[in-house]
């Protein structure tokens, strides 16, 4: 299935009963796309759904380091997310845990890979959950739509940076 956004599409598939695979192409070089994921100055500019802000963006970017993001909706509701970086291979791969603070204890392991072809970067996100029900719960929570909106925001942000260079 594919979720269409304003600036492109996020392809979402279910390769196994515990996985969600998401893929999106960005019109930017791999090093820049990787950097946009790894520094708070960048992340707070694009992470989250349309209309949200990221008032908390804490990143101890190293294997074993933690991160925490708090997304604020226009009406003031806040949603926290946290995890730990497990593996970092610049600018090729990030592996980290992902937990929505509203459902503590449900932790996925996400691997992001960054592949560049002809100046465009494909991000592949593979999320692995402990159980099928946890994966299905993530899907029914609206995470596909949220991920698509977040990727749209990233694409728009990268376009501003590339155009500004």
Domain ranges, ordered by start, for the chain: 2-47+90-164
Q: Which 3 state secondary structure label does DSSP give 156?
A: helix
**What is the per-residue pLDDT for 76?**
97
**What is the per-residue pLDDT for 9?**
86
Largest CA distance in the chain: 45
Hey, which residues does 85 pair with through a beta bridge?
96
User: Does the structure show a pLDDT above 60 at 24?
Assistant: yes
Main-chain dihedrals φ then ψ at residue 89, nearest 5 degrees = -130, 90
Q: Round to whole Å and give the CA distance between 149 and 51.
A: 10
- pLDDT tens track for 96-151: 999 999 989 999 999 999 999 999 999 999 999 999 999 999 999 888 999 999 99
Domain 2-47+90-164 belongs to what architecture? 2-Layer Sandwich (3.30)
Query: Could you tell me how far CA 129 lies from the centroid of its own chain?
Result: 16
Quickly state the pLDDT bin for 34 (edges 50, 70, 90).
very high
For range 76-94, the mean pLDDT: 98
Q: Round to whole Å and give the CA distance between 79 and 142.
A: 13
User: Does the structure show a pLDDT above 70 at 2?
Assistant: no
Q: What percent of the chain has pLDDT over 70?
A: 95
Compute, in degrees rounded to 10, the torsion defined by CA atoms 125, 130, 131, 136.
-40
């Amino acid at each position: 299935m594919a979720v269409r956004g304003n600036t492109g599409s996020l392809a979402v598939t279910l390769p196994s009963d515990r996985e969600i695979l998401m893929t999106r192409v960005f019109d930017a070089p791999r090093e820049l796309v990787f950097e946009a994921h790894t520094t708070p100055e960048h992340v707070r500019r694009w992470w989250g759904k349309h209309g949200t802000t990221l008032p908390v963006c804490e990143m101890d970017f190293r294997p074993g380091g933690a991160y925490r993001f708090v997304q604020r909706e226009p009406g003031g509701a806040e949603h926290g997310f946290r995890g730990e970086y497990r593996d970092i291979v610049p600018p090729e791969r990030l592996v980290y845990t992902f937990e929505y603070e509203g459902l503590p204890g449900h932790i996925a392991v996400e691997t992001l890979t960054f592949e560049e072809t002809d100046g465009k970067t494909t991000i592949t996100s593979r999320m692995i959950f402990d159980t099928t029900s946890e994966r299905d719960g993530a899907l029914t929570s609206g995470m596909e739509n949220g991920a698509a909106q977040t990727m749209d925001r990233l694409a728009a942000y990268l376009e501003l940076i590339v155009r500004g260079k």
